[in-house]
Amino acid sequence: MLAVIVRRLLQSVLVLFLMSLLVFVGVYAIGNPVDILINPQADQADIARTIAALGLDQPLWQQYLIFLRQALSGDLGKSFAYNIPAIQLILERMPATLELALAATTLAVALGIPLGLWAGLKPESWSARLIMTGSILGFSLPTFWVGLMLIMVFAIGLGWLPASGRGPTTELLGIPVSFLSWEGIRHLILPAINLALFKLSLLIRLTRSGTREALLQDYVKFARAKGLSEARVLGVHVLKNIMVPIVTVIGLEFGSVIAFAIVTESIFAWPGMGKLIIDSINVLDRPVIVAYLLIIVVLFVLINLAVDIAYSLLDPRVRIDEAKG
Amino acid sequence: MRSAQTPRARIAADFARSKLALAGLALLLIIVLIALFAPLISPQNPYDLAQLDVQDSRLPPGSASGKGLTFWLGSDDQGRDILSGIFYGLRISLGVGAASTLCAVFIGLALGLCAAHYGGRTDSVIMRLVDIQLSFPSILIALILLALLGQGIGKTILALIMAQWAYYARSVRSAALIERKKEYIEAALCLALPPARIVLRHLLPNCLPPVLVIATVQVAAAIALEATLSYLGIGVPITEPSLGLLIKNGFDYMLSGEYWISVFPGIALVLTIVSINLVADQLRDVLNPRLQK
Residue B64 has pLDDT above 90, yes or no: no
Nearest CA of chain B to the CA of A230: how many Å?
33
Cα separation of B2 and B9, whole Å? 10
Do B233 and A282 make contact, defined as CB atoms within 8 angstroms? Answer: yes
Angle among Cα B218, B222, B226 to the nearest 5 degrees reads 170
B263 touches chain A (CB under 8 A): yes
pLDDT in tens, chain A (325 residues): 677 778 778 878 888 888 778 777 776 666 566 666 666 677 777 777 777 766 666 777 777 787 778 777 777 777 777 778 888 888 888 888 888 899 999 999 999 888 988 888 887 788 888 888 888 888 888 888 888 888 888 877 787 877 777 777 666 666 777 776 777 778 888 899 999 888 899 889 888 888 888 877 888 888 888 888 878 888 777 887 787 778 777 877 888 888 888 899 988 888 888 888 888 887 777 778 888 888 888 888 888 788 777 777 766 665 555 554 4
Contacts of B251 in chain A (CB under 8 A): 148
> Model ipTM?
0.77
If one counts every other C-beta atom within 10 angstroms of the C-beta of residue A236, the result is 12
Do A152 and B231 make contact, defined as CB atoms within 8 angstroms? Answer: no
Do A140 and B234 make contact, defined as CB atoms within 8 angstroms? Answer: no
Contacts of B254 in chain A (CB under 8 A): 148, 151-152, 156
B162-185 average pLDDT score: 87
Strands A175-177 and B70-71: unpaired
Q: Mind listing the pLDDT tens digit for each residue in B121-134? A: 888 888 888 887 88
Task: State the pTM of this model.
Answer: 0.82
* pLDDT-derived band at B1, boundaries 50, 70, 90: very low
Residue A291 near residue A277 (C-beta atoms within 8 A): no
DSSP A238: I
Contacts of B234 in chain A (CB under 8 A): 278, 281-282
DSSP result, A249-264: HHHHHHHHHHHHHHHH
Q: Bridge-partner residues for A78, per DSSP?
A: A85
**N-to-C CA span, chain B:** 15
pLDDT recorded at residue A293: 82
Q: What sign has the CA pseudo-torsion B127, B132, B135, B140?
A: negative
- The 3-state DSSP composition of chain A as helix, strand, coil percent (nearest 5) reads 80, 0, 20
- A124 by DSSP, 3-state: which? coil
* pLDDT-derived band at B106, boundaries 50, 70, 90: very high
Please tell me which residue, A136 or B66, carries the higher pLDDT value: A136
Residue A209: exposure state from Cβ atoms within 10 A (0-12, 13-18, ≥19) = middle
Please tell me which residue, A16 or B4, carries the higher pLDDT value: A16
Residue B85 has pLDDT above 50, yes or no: yes
DSSP result, chain B: -GGGS-HHHHHHHHHHT-HHHHHHHHHHHHHHHHHHTHHHH-SS-TT-GGG--GGGTTPPTTEEPTTS-EETT-B-TTS-BHHHHHHHHHHHHHHHHHHHHHHHHHHHHHHHHHHHHH-HHHHHHHHHHHHHHHTS-HHHHHHHHHHHH-S-HHHHHHHHHHHHHHHHHHHHHHHHHHHHTSHHHHHHHHTT--HHHIIIIIIHHHHHHHHHHHHHHHHHHHHHHHHHHHHTTSSS-TTS--HHHHHHHHHHHHTTT-THHHHHHHHHHHHHHHHHHHHHHHHHHHH-GGG--
Q: Which residues, at least 6 apart from A162, have a Cβ–Cβ distance to it below 8 Å?
A: A155, A186, A187, A190
Residue in B137, B257, B266 closest to A148 by CB? B266
Mapping DSSP onto H, E and C, the string for B131-154 reads: HHHHCCCHHHHHHHHHHHHCCCHH
Q: Bridge-partner residues for A170, per DSSP?
A: A177
Cα separation of B28 and B278, whole Å? 10
Residue B108 has pLDDT above 80, yes or no: yes
* Residue B62, phi-psi category: left (phi > 0), alpha (psi -120 to 50), beta (remainder): left
Q: Mind listing the pLDDT tens digit for each residue in B202-257? A: 888 888 888 888 888 889 989 989 999 888 888 888 778 888 888 888 787 877 77
pLDDT recorded at residue B4: 62
Q: Bridge-partner residues for B75, per DSSP?
A: B81
Cα separation of A293 and A289, whole Å? 6
Chain B (176-235) residues lying within 8 Å, Cβ to Cβ, of chain A: 220, 224, 227-228, 231-234
Q: Which amino acid is at A208?
A: R
Residue B261 has pLDDT above 90, yes or no: no
φ, ψ (nearest 5 deg) of residue A175: -110, 130
Residue in B146, B231, B273 closest to A140 by CB? B273
